[in-house]
């Protein structure tokens, strides 16, 4: 025992836990990775208020939940290969990790009080408006022929999107009727895209980003009109209006809010948790949408929405903005070099895509109340089982099914990794007001998730 203590004391003093380390600056490029501030491994990610690897994240999670008093036998040794739990936990605290936001602890006052102080008064008014809303709306469907003026005004304020098709909030059938549930998801997807609308692609519509997520949940069209997403009618545009990427962003945000509001589990959450839930979805859901429809359209580059695509640096849609090009160039390389071949191997279908979207949507319950976290965990298990069943119905061989599911999980890891890179990048664009993106809405999405 004494020899081990002496061996630790002989190590360089630079590794001792004397002062808390400062958080590193964000990487300047998408190819640079952060390092764990606890053990120094790469890559590091943002967990619980600091930057750490998955190993240190799991350790901190267990240590914070158990609430045990950890004591170092040598009163401050350098932990060697994470063997000293007390010193490792102390290092986690010194680099800024916050135990109060870990796990599903009832006494997590930081998680419970922060949203309520910001939104309490506004939430009461919103809840009253939503509860008192009982109007009916006129339904639009792809089989209905309407003129463009009528199609543009079919959605009224303060109503859930499912009311366009279902008179009551949407509820998925039981698990034994998964086929019907998947088909219902496909119908909602087509309705959110609005591709079958008599309206043509529009890239010069007015948009408003000086609103919050709470305003979108009341009336999604407050950011922009519900024009077609433009993933099917790709066009060559020589002259593009300013802020094209800004318009793509707000239309994608409208699509996302339409999708989540049509979900039964989402509607079971209180409004405060809905806001928290929506704020972190865009960096994950938007890449999934871009990858899938680029694969479906067999595009040689990467789709942007609103009929646009990025193929080469000379694309007129991006003007001379180097920030936009610096993001879409590596995104295009990733799409064509890694994602498209992977999706070709999977042979992903529309049914699998819509179920996978919900698996990703309910992948995290961080920051939610106990009741909402329980809803999220159950929803994830439901959609994971639904995804496996959907793949099994297409692939009869058991070994092939396992292979396909493994590649789908590989695809999920690519999306999650891209979201870690895109968040600080678009946060910078928000601060610099690139493409007119500096606003309340973008701040709630990109800056609050850092």
**Average confidence score pLDDT of the chain:** 72
- State the helix-helix crossing angle for 282-297 and 350-361, rounded to 10 degrees: 170
DSSP 8-state assignment for residue 78: P
Query: What pLDDT, in 10s, does the model give residues 403-412?
Result: 999 999 999 8
The pLDDT score that the predictor gives to residue 353 is 92
| pLDDT for residue 439 is more than 80 | no
pLDDT digits (tens, 9 = 90+) for 168-225: 334 444 444 677 888 888 888 888 887 776 666 677 778 888 888 888 888 888 888 8
Q: What is the mean pLDDT of residues 440-444?
A: 79
Instruction: Classify residue 195 by its DSSP letter.
Output: T
Confidence band (pLDDT; 50, 70, 90) for 119? very low
**Residue 357: per-residue pLDDT:** 92
For the ranges 5-19, 305-319, 428-442, the one whose mean pLDDT is highest: 428-442
Chain centroid to Cα 43, Å, comes to 20
Contact 384, 309 (CB under 8 A): no
Judged on CB neighbours under 10 Å (0-12, 13-18, 19+), 435 is buried
pLDDT of residue 133 exceeding 50: no
- Residue 70's pLDDT is 80
**What whole-number distance in Å separates Cα of residue 263 and Cα of residue 340?**
28
Task: Return the C-alpha torsion angle 110, 113, 118, 121, nearest 10.
Answer: 170
d(C-alpha 290, C-alpha 304), whole Å:
7
- pLDDT digit string, tens, across residues 351-360: 999 999 999 9
Mean pLDDT within 397-417 = 88
Mean pLDDT of 258-269: 86
Beta strands in 37-112 (DSSP E): 45-47, 50-52
pLDDT of residue 80: 55
Is the pLDDT at 151 greater than 50? The verdict is no
pLDDT in the model for residue 354: 92
In which band, very low, low, confident or very high, does the pLDDT at 107 lie, cut at 50, 70 and 90?
very low
CA distance 48 to 61: 9
pLDDT of residue 312: 64
pLDDT tens by residue, 153-175? 333 333 334 333 333 334 444 44
Range scoring the smallest mean pLDDT among 21-25, 67-71, 112-116: 21-25
Give the pLDDT of residue 426: 75
Q: Has residue 393 got a pLDDT over 50? A: yes
Whether residue 139 is predicted with pLDDT greater than 50 in this model: the reply is no
Coil, helix or strand at residue 126: helix
User: What mean pLDDT do residues 4-18 have?
Assistant: 40
Averaged over 301-327, what is the pLDDT? 67
Classify 2-101 by CATH class: alpha beta
What are the residue ranges spanned by the domains of the chain?
A: 2-101, 167-447
d(CA 263, CA 161): 10
* pLDDT tens, residue by residue, 47-95: 888 888 888 888 888 888 877 788 887 776 765 545 788 888 888 888 8
Contact 293, 285 (CB under 8 A): no
Q: Which CATH architecture has domain 167-447?
A: Orthogonal Bundle (1.10)
Residue 134 has pLDDT above 80, yes or no: no
């Amino acid at each position: 025992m004494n020899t081990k203590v002496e061996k630790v004391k002989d190590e360089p003093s630079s590794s001792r836990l004397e002062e808390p380390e400062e958080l590193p600056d964000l990487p300047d490029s998408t190819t640079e990775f952060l390092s764990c501030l606890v053990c120094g491994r790469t890559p590091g990610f943002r967990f619980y208020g600091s930057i750490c690897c998955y190993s240190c994240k799991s350790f901190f999670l267990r240590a914070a939940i158990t609430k045990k008093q950890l004591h170092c036998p040598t009163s401050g040794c350098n932990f060697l290969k994470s063997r000293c739990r007390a010193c490792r936990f102390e290092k986690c605290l010194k680099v800024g990790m916050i135990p109060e936001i870990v796990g599903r602890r009832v006494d997590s006052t930081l998680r419970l009080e922060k949203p309520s102080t910001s939104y309490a008064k506004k939430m009461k008014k919103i809840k009253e408006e939503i509860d008192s809303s009982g109007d009916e709306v006129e339904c639009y469907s792809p089989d209905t022929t309407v003129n463009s003026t009528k199609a543009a005004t079919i959605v009224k304020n303060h109503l859930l999107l499912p009311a366009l098709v279902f008179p009551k909030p949407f509820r998925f059938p039981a698990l034994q009727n998964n086929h019907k549930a998947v088909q219902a998801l496909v119908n909602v997807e087509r309705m959110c895209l609005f591709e079958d609308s008599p309206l043509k692609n529009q890239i010069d519509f007015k948009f408003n980003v000086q609103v919050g997520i709470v305003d979108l949940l009341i009336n999604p069209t407050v950011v922009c009109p519900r024009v077609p997403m433009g993933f099917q009618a790709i066009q060559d545009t020589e002259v593009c209006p300013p802020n094209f990427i800004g318009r793509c962003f707000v239309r994608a945000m409208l699509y996302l809010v339409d999708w989540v509001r049509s979900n039964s589990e989402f509607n079971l959450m209180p409004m405060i948790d809905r806001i928290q839930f929506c704020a972190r979805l865009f960096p994950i859901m938007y890449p999934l949408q871009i990858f899938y429809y680029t694969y479906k359209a067999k595009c040689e580059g990467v789709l942007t929405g609103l009929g646009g695509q990025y193929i080469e640096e000379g694309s007129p849609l991006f003007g001379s903005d180097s920030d936009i090009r610096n993001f879409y160039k590596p995104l295009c390389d990733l799409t064509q070099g890694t994602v498209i071949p992977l999706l070709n191997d999977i042979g992903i279908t529309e049914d699998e895509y819509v179920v996978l979207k919900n698996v990703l949507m309910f992948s995290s319950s961080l920051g939610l109340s106990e009741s909402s976290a329980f809803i999220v965990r159950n929803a994830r298990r439901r959609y994971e089982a639904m995804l496996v069943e959907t793949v099994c119905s297409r692939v009869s061989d058991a070994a092939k099914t396992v292979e396909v599911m493994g590649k789908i999980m590989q695809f999920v890891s690519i999306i999650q990794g891209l979201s870690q890179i895109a968040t600080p990048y678009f946060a910078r664009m928000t601060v610099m007001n690139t493409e007119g993106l500096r606003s309340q809405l973008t701040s709630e999405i990109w800056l609050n998730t850092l």
